[in-house]
């Protein structure tokens, strides 16, 4: 059974190679079959493997399948080796399953694009790299996948390469995440030098033995790894690339920039949980970063005009919740929210993508409206996705996952009321911006006539994702609602259980508060953006709103702090001043050469004069000395 | 077998003036080396794989001593691989004086081959000079607009530094003779030359001058962008992929084992120079508008990793250095080829005049993408392995330099992506109707793609082959090295040390 693990990433990789090498000769249908078929096949294998895995309870909680020695030099050794345990299983499932739906959707979405084959090649490569990332059994292989998804993200953001703005967005994404990656690779060096290996399992076993909690090396390496996670997951202060990344096609935004790649940071922290537990200060920092990010991004989402940018900021904000959960030690709650978020955010992006496509590439929500009647399927699924995002109580999956995080951010041993307050404020803003988006897009008067109704290839993935966004939450219920804890039970041996603080307030109080907040947000959105109250109109014009709109001006700050100095640096000394030194030597030589040539003018009188002068000078010197 | 080695080098000098003959000659060489590789694949840990030693000028202790170990084997494979590609890509570019052109190419390659094989310092210097003059012709005759200036600059820089090395070689010869009574240029004997530390430092500086200029290391790099950008494609390719590597090879083969103590005290300076090279090269690469100059500065950047690794003195870093020598040869070489092919089609190297080329030449774009990614160190391609091994080795001896060099990774990303954006993405700036790669060009670039991916996924092939040589270099260094001054991982190669010690005593 274990040998099938390798097939999960290998199949999409193979399909990538075929499409990339022979794409010119394969008809579109063939490309579509290859592209979608490969991901479907690996999702089927994942499901079969997963069922086997859960039913067989392997020793040590993992199946390992090693292929060959990748590098073995000077005491360092890394294998190409995959490790399937419950954590990677959940990630694999989400990647392949959501990936399949998004690939299916893309067939219709991209059908008129000239880069059809290129698109599927990149998407397959992405799925494969992402699977390598989550299945990797050592950190170097993980880094391999990590950079691979970064590459695909770069390629797909800049997919429509003719527009220089897309290229700029793509480069921004790559460079900003690469800054995080560099911090991460230094972290890997540090771990390697400390433990002599990068195998995740042995690092995790050795770390608590060698390092006591709060040891400086543990803290430093946790910070360095966190740097990588912040870059990839677009958290403060490396969040600026994600809103611009929306330049890519919508299925890309759904798969890479919502469901999977941006949660790689969450995966990394959960995977290395032992290390982070050894550095409590860093863990608190994670919680604070998460809380700050979710608020900042939430406010920004509230003021955007572009439908996809709202969703982008919302993604940053939701990953902020996951970081908050990781920071308070609610490991399994973070992973649970990751999964549910993958469902509803992919759904929202796909829905938004269809709307934009059908409205002739119109991104501005204020120019949309009244689509409720015209596009009923998209409307209903989008509404479900939106409800799940704003955690509408009891019926949506988002409620169960987010409520768990909110409750634990208060009651966990590492939680605090400030974290909870940030979370609950964020929840309020979430439902406000979500329903602002829904009211603006689907209600009111019809402004642009959609081209046609979406086809089946588009609607079926939407419907499947919508139903998962509703029922997905029932596998993990709060204690007071039912005894179902399938999700955390699956993760129990792998991720440490949470320690609650002593003075626990009953959970139901928090549930009621979050329910009220969620519904209240929707109601306020109704007043502000459906009824169009005077306040919302005037606020929309205020300077504060513009500040939020520009993402709290982080871009401008970085522009002043980093981009301009670098550009300045490259402007000066373009010609390389060191070269000038050598040119000077050459010029000086030439100059003396010229001087000396002048003395040889062939005039006898001149030579005699100089000769005599020389003798006199020499004699004088000799006399004086 | 050893006679064959000689025969192929002398045979090439008189080789006829035609493309096919040079292609055939290089191909035969390549096959021979591959054959040696497979024949000796099992017992890689003896001192030399093959050796040829005969008197040349016995009066002065000069021998015709050629020998090959894992390190030189790898470099020879690279030399002939790149050589074949150089002939392939200049098939159409060079239309005047074709015979003399190929004569020069073969002459350079035999010089480089000789450098990698010589185990006699006099012979080494002889080959070092052999590769110089034809390169001067190559740039001066078939180069671009400003070729005369560039070829002079190249010649003066390398010649001046080469003379310093020659002085150092003579110095070493005399010191060895004075102290032991045998006057010889033989590498093995000179390895154990007893000398005072001031003398050691002085002589090492002579060697360093030649090697650091060749690499090049930052204050001595300024010949490189001119030479690269003015040379014909094959010239840039050989210059970047092979000639720079002779400097790296020299550091590994001569500087570290012959002058271990001086090298150790020079290490902080050397590593600093490496880091400066990495950052300064990246910075200048970013500000260039000439594609070939840009790629030339990326070489400065990548060579910084080599210098950094050489002065880290551990196996991990040395494996990284060897890997870097090979993958840089391929990836930067490929970028030069692409620049050359674009020049053939557009008659410009100006980045601002390019843009949006993906639409017309997607195959070249795809290959360009792979090598741009290689140059920024993407995992899965050989360069990542090299950078990872080098940096983790450096991390062991100096955390500060390793971190600074890692910053170079971000800088590398910035300039590499700029190539992609300016050339292949964005709006089209010109109305060129361009042909995509021809079959000949595809074969050349395609084989380079295969190699760079292969090395990224199966780097063990190189690591295993280079291991004995690296161990030997490190052991020789260890023997005459004061262990108190510096922490180096002894445990890792203790067992191998003993084996090597007994060998050296024999």
Q: Report yes or no: B67 and B51 within 8 Å, Cβ to Cβ.
A: yes
Q: Per residue in A85-128, pLDDT tens? A: 888 888 888 899 898 999 988 888 888 888 888 888 888 899 99
Rounded CA separation A154/A126 (Å): 11
Does A216 contact chain B (CB < 8 Å)? no
Residue A617: which pLDDT band, with cuts at 50, 70 and 90? very high
A485 touches B at CB < 8 Å: no
Residue A485 CB neighbours (<10 A)? 15
Highest mean pLDDT, choosing among A1-15, A590-604, B233-247, B356-370: B233-247
In a 13 Å sphere around the CA of A62, the CA atoms on its Cβ side amount to 18
Chain B interface test: which of A73, A75, A136 (most B C-beta within 10 Å): A73
DSSP assignment letter at A412? B
Find chain B residues with C-beta within 8 A of A68's C-beta: 458
Residue A532: left if φ>0, alpha if ψ -120 to 50, beta else—which one?
left
Which of B401, B405, B426, B489 has the highest number of chain A CBs within 10 A, making it the mutation to test binding with A?
B426
What's the mean pLDDT when you consider all of chain A?
83
- In angstroms, the CA B20 to CA B91 distance is 10
Query: Tens digits of per-residue pLDDT, B444-486?
Result: 888 888 888 888 888 888 888 888 788 888 877 776 554 333 3
- Confidence band for A162, pLDDT divided at 50, 70 and 90: confident
- The rounded radius of gyration (Å) of the Cα atoms in chain B is 22
Residue B41: the pLDDT is: 55
Structure tokens at B181: 């009574």
CB B388 within 8 A of CB B378: no
Q: Residue B352: how many CB atoms within 10 A of its CB?
A: 10
Which of A 5-24 lie inside 8 A of B, CB atoms?
20
What's residue B40's pLDDT?
60
Higher pLDDT, A50 or A497: A50
Which pair of structure tokens corresponds to residue A548? 């939020």
Q: What percent of chain A has pLDDT over 90?
A: 4
Residue A505: how many other CB atoms lie within 10 Å: 11
Query: Where does A484-582 show beta strands of DSSP type E?
Result: none
User: Would residue B184 be called left, alpha or beta, if left means φ above 0 and alpha means ψ between -120 and 50 degrees?
Assistant: beta
CA A557 to chain centre: 21
A430-455 average pLDDT score? 82
β-strand partners of A364:
A306
Q: Give CA A136 to chain center in angstroms.
A: 18
A452 touches chain B (CB under 8 A): no
Along the 506 residues of chain B, how does pLDDT read in single tens digits?
344 444 445 444 444 445 566 666 667 777 777 776 666 654 555 566 677 777 777 777 777 777 777 788 888 888 888 888 888 887 776 666 666 777 777 778 888 888 888 888 888 888 888 888 888 888 888 888 788 888 888 888 888 888 888 888 888 888 888 887 777 888 877 877 777 778 888 888 888 888 888 888 878 888 888 888 888 888 888 888 888 888 889 888 888 888 888 888 888 888 888 888 888 888 888 888 888 888 888 888 888 889 888 888 888 888 889 999 999 989 998 988 888 888 888 777 777 777 777 777 888 888 888 888 888 888 888 888 898 888 888 888 888 888 888 888 888 888 888 888 888 877 776 666 677 778 888 888 888 888 888 888 888 888 888 887 888 888 777 765 543 333 333 343 444 545 555 555 54
Q: From CA A445, how far away is CA A167, in angstroms rounded?
A: 36
User: What's B267-278 look like in SS3?
Assistant: HHHHHHHHHHHH
What is the spatial distance between Cα A103 and Cα A11, in angstroms, rounded to a whole number?
A: 15
pLDDT digits (tens, 9 = 90+) for B1-16: 344 444 445 444 444 4
> Could you give the C-alpha distances from A28 to A22, A41, A457, B366, in angstroms and in order?
12, 19, 15, 20
- pTM for the predicted model, two decimal places: 0.86
SS3 assignment for A436-471: HHHHHHHCCCCCCCCCCCCCHHHHHHHHHHHHHHHH
β-pair partners for B120: B186
Angstrom distance (rounded) from CA A454 to CA A465:
16
Q: Is the confidence at residue A308, as pLDDT, over 50?
A: yes
Query: Which of A92-101, A321-330, A549-558, B106-115 has the lowest average pLDDT?
Result: A549-558
What does the alpha-carbon distance between residue A554 and residue A411 come to, in Å, rounded to a whole number? 33
Residue pair A1/A58 in contact (Cβ under 8 Å)? The answer is no
| pLDDT over threshold 80, residue A271 | yes
Q: Which DSSP helix (H) or strand (E) runs through A597?
A: helix A577-599
Return the pLDDT at A173.
87
- Residue A27 pLDDT more than 80? yes
Tell me if B75 sits within 8 A of B249, measured CB to CB.
Answer: yes
Q: Over the stretch B359-411, which tens digit does the pLDDT of each residue have? A: 778 888 888 888 888 888 888 888 888 988 888 888 888 888 888 888 888 88
pLDDT of residue B502: 56
The answer to whether the CB atoms of A73 and B319 lie below 8 A apart is yes
- Write down the pLDDT at residue A613: 92
For B48-84, the pLDDT digits (tens) are 667 777 777 777 777 777 777 778 888 888 888 888 8
Cα-based angle B396, B398, B402 (whole degrees, multiple of 5):
90
Is there a contact between B286 and A161 if contact means CB atoms under 8 Å apart? no
Tell me the three-class secondary structure of B287-313, residue by residue.
HCCEHHHHHHHHHHHHHHHHHHHHCCC
Interface mutation vs chain A, best among B160, B392, B465, most A CBs within 10 Å: B392
Average pLDDT over residues A183-193: 89
**Which of 374-403 (B) contact A at CB < 8 A?**
378-380, 384-385, 388-389, 391-393, 395-396, 402-403
pLDDT digits 0-9 by tens, A470-506: 887 777 777 666 666 777 777 777 777 777 766 666 7
Least confident of A261-275, A553-567, B220-234, B276-290: A553-567
- Which residues, 6+ apart, have CB-to-CB distance to B127 below 8 Å? B110, B111, B112, B113, B114, B115, B118
CB proximity list for A35: less than 8 A, separation 6 or greater: A15, A19, A103, A106, A120, A121, A123, A124
pLDDT at site B178: 81
CA B247, CA B253: separation in Å to the nearest integer? Answer: 10
Q: What is the mean pLDDT of residues A266-290?
A: 89
Q: Is A185 on the interface with B (CB under 8 A)?
A: yes
State the residue for tokens 């050894």: A278
Residue B94: per-residue pLDDT: 65
Contact B213, B178 (CB under 8 A): no
| Pairing between β-strand A63-73 and β-strand A76-84 as defined by DSSP bridges | antiparallel
Q: Structure tokens of A467?
A: 């139903």
Q: Do A162 and B356 touch (CB under 8 A)?
A: yes
The span from the CA of B85 to the CA of B68, in Å, is 23
| Terminal-residue alpha carbon distance, chain A | 99
Contact A71 B385 (CB under 8 A): yes
Cβ contact, residue pair B395, A76, below 8 Å: no
Select from B414, B425, B446, B454 the residue whose CB has the most chain A CBs within 10 Å, as the one to mutate to test that interface.
B425
Helix ranges (H only) for B131-259 are 132-142, 147-180, 187-190, 197-214, 223-230, 233-238, 244-250, 256-258
Phi, psi of B51 (to 5 degrees): -145, 145
Sign of CA dihedral B170, B171, B175, B176: negative
What ipTM does the predicted assembly reach? 0.83
pLDDT value of position B46: 57
In A, residues 192-211, which contact B (CB 8 Å cutoff)?
A: 192-193
- For residue B457, the chain A residues in CB contact (below 8 A) are 70
* A578 reaches B (C-beta below 8 A): yes
**Residues of chain A contacting B414 with CB distance shorter than 8 Å:** 175, 566
DSSP element (H, E) containing B396: helix B382-397
Per cent of chain A over pLDDT 70 is: 95
């Amino acid at each position: 059974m274990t040998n099938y693990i390798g097939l999960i990433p290998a199949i999409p990789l193979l399909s990538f190679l075929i499409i990339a090498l022979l794409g010119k000769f394969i008809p579109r249908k063939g490309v579509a079959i290859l592209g979608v078929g490969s991901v479907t096949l690996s999702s089927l294998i994942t499901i079969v493997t997963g069922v086997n895995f859960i039913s067989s309870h392997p020793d040590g909680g993992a199946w390992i399948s090693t292929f060959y020695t990748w590098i073995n030099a000077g005491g360092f050794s890394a294998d190409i080796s995959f490790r399937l345990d419950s954590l990677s299983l959940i990630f694999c499932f989400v990647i392949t399953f959501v990936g399949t739906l998004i690939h299916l959707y893309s067939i219709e979405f991209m059908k008129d694009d000239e880069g059809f084959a290129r698109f599927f090649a990149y998407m397959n490569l992405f799925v494969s790299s992402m699977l390598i990332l989550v299945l990797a059994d050592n950190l170097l292989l993980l880094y391999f996948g990590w950079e691979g998804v970064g590459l695909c993200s770069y390629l797909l953001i800049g997919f429509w390469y003719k527009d220089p703005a897309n290229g700029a967005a793509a480069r921004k994404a790559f460079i900003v995440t690469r800054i995080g990656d560099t911090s991460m690779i230094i972290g890997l060096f540090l771990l390697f030098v400390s433990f002599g290996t990068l195998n995740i399992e042995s690092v995790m076993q050795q770390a608590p033995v060698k390092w006591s909690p709060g040891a400086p090396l543990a803290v430093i390496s946790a910070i360095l790894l966190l740097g990588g996670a912040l870059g990839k997951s677009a958290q403060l202060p490396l969040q600026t690339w994600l809103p611009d990344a929306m330049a890519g096609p919508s299925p890309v935004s759904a798969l890479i920039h919502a469901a999977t790649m941006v949660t790689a940071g969450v995966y990394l922290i959960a995977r290395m949980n032992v290390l982070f537990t050894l550095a409590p200060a860093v863990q608190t920092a994670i919680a604070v970063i998460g809380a700050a990010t979710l608020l900042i991004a939430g406010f920004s989402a509230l003021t955007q005009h572009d439908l996809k940018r709202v969703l982008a900021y919302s993604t940053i904000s939701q990953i902020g919740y996951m970081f908050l959960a990781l920071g308070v030690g609610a490991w399994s709650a973070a992973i649970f929210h990751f999964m549910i978020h993958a469902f509803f955010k992919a759904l929202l992006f796909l829905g938004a993508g269809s709307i934009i496509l059908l409205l002739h590439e119109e991104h501005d929500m204020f120019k949309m409206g009244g689509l409720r009647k015209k596009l009923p399927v998209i409307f209903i699924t989008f509404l479900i996705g939106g409800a799940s995002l704003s955690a509408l109580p009891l019926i949506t999956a988002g409620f169960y996952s987010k409520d768990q995080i909110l409750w634990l951010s208060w009651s966990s041993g590492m939680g605090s009321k400030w974290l909870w307050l940030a979370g609950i404020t964020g929840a309020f803003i979430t439902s406000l911006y979500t329903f602002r988006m829904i009211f603006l897009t689907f209600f009111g008067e019809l402004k642009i006539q959609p081209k046609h109704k979406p086809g089946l290839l588009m609607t079926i993935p939407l419907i499947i994702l919508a139903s998962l966004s509703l029922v997905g939450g029932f596998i993990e219920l709060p204690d007071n609602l039912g005894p179902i804890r399938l999700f955390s039970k699956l993760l129990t041996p792998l991720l440490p259980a949470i320690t609650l603080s002593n003075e626990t307030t009953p959970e139901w109080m928090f549930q009621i508060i979050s329910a009220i907040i969620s519904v209240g947000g929707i109601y306020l959105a109704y007043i502000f953006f459906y009824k169009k109250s005077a306040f919302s109109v005037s606020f929309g014009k205020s300077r504060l709103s513009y500040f939020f709109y520009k993402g709290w001006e982080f871009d401008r700050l970085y522009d002043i702090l980093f981009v301009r100095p670098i550009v300045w640096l490259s402007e000066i000394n373009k010609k390389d001043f060191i070269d000038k030194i050598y040119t000077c030597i050459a010029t000086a030589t030439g100059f003396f050469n010229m001087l000396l040539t002048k003395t040889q003018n062939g005039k006898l009188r001149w030579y005699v004069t100089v000769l005599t002068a020389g003798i006199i000078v020499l004699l004088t010197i000799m006399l004086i000395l | 077998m050893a006679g064959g080695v000689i025969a192929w080098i002398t045979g090439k000098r008189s080789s006829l003036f035609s493309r096919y003959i040079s292609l055939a000659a290089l191909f035969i060489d390549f096959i021979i080396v591959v054959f040696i590789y497979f024949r000796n694949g099992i017992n890689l840990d003896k001192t030399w794989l093959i050796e040829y030693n005969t008197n040349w000028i016995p009066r002065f202790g000069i021998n015709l001593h050629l020998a090959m170990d894992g390190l030189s084997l790898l470099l020879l494979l690279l030399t002939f691989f790149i050589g074949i590609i150089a002939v392939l890509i200049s098939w159409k570019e060079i239309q005047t004086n074709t015979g003399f052109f190929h004569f020069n190419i073969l002459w350079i390659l035999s010089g480089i081959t000789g450098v990698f094989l010589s185990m006699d310092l006099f012979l080494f210097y002889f080959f070092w000079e052999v590769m110089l003059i034809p390169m001067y012709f190559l740039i001066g005759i078939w180069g671009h607009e400003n070729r005369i200036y560039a070829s002079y600059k190249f010649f003066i820089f390398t010649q001046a530094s080469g003379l310093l090395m020659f002085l150092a070689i003579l110095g070493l010869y005399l010191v060895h003779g004075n102290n032991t009574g045998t006057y010889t240029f033989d590498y093995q004997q000179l390895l154990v030359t007893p000398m005072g530390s001031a003398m050691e430092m002085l002589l090492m500086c002579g060697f360093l001058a030649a090697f650091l200029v060749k690499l090049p290391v930052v204050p001595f790099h300024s010949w490189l962008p001119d030479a690269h950008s003015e040379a014909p494609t094959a010239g840039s390719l050989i210059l970047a992929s092979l000639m720079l590597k002779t400097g790296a090879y020299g550091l590994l083969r001569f500087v570290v084992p012959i002058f271990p103590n001086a090298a150790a005290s020079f290490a902080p300076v050397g590593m600093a120079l490496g880091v400066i090279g990495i950052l300064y090269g990246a910075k200048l690469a970013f500000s260039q508008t000439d594609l070939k100059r840009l790629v030339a500065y990326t070489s400065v950047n990548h060579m910084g990793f080599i210098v950094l690794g050489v002065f880290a003195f551990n196996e991990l870093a040395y494996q990284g250095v060897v890997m870097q020598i090979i993958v840089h040869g391929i990836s930067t070489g490929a970028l030069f080829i692409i620049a050359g092919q674009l020049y053939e089609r557009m008659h410009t190297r100006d980045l601002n005049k390019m843009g949006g080329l993906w639409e017309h030449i997607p195959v070249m774009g795809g290959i360009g993408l792979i090598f741009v990614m290689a140059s920024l160190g993407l995992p899965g391609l050989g360069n990542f392995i090299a950078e990872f091994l080098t940096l983790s080795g450096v991390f062991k001896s100096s955390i500060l330099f390793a971190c600074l060099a890692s910053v170079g990774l971000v800088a590398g990303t910035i300039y590499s992506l700029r190539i992609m954006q300016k050339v292949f993405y964005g709006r089209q700036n010109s109305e060129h109707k361009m042909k995509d790669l021809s079959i000949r060009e595809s074969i050349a670039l395609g084989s380079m793609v295969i190699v760079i991916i292969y090395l990224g996924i199966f780097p063990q092939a190189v690591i295993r082959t280079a291991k004995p040589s690296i161990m030997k270099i490190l052991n020789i260094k260890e023997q005459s090295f004061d262990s108190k001054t510096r922490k180096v991982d002894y445990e890792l190669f203790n067992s191998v040390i003993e084996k090597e010690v007994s060998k050296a005593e024999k």
